[in-house]
């Protein structure tokens, strides 16, 4: 069984990981937009560029 403390720790880690992932993704998008070729197409736009 997972105790309350362990659950809280796991939740804290998950929240931090999600926030870090989204921040990193936003940063990558900003830097990619500055590149002359890769442009707006992020990893999820679907145009394969």
33 binds other proteins (CB under 8 A): yes
Instruction: State the Cα–Cα distance between residues 29 and 38, nearest whole angstrom.
Output: 10
Tell whether residue 31 is a contact of other proteins (CB under 8 A).
Answer: no
Residues contacting other proteins: total by CB under 8 A: 31
- List helix spans (H) across the chain: 4-34
Q: Is 28 in the site for other proteins (CB under 8 A)?
A: no
Q: Contact positions toward other proteins, by CB under 8 A?
A: 1-2, 4, 6-8, 10-11, 14-15, 17-19, 21-22, 25, 29, 33, 36-37, 39-49
């Amino acid at each position: 069984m997972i105790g309350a403390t362990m659950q809280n720790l796991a939740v804290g880690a998950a929240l931090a990981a999600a926030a870090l992932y989204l921040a990193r993704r936003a940063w990558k998008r900003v830097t990619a937009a500055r590149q002359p070729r890769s442009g707006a197409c992020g990893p999820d736009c679907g145009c394969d560029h």
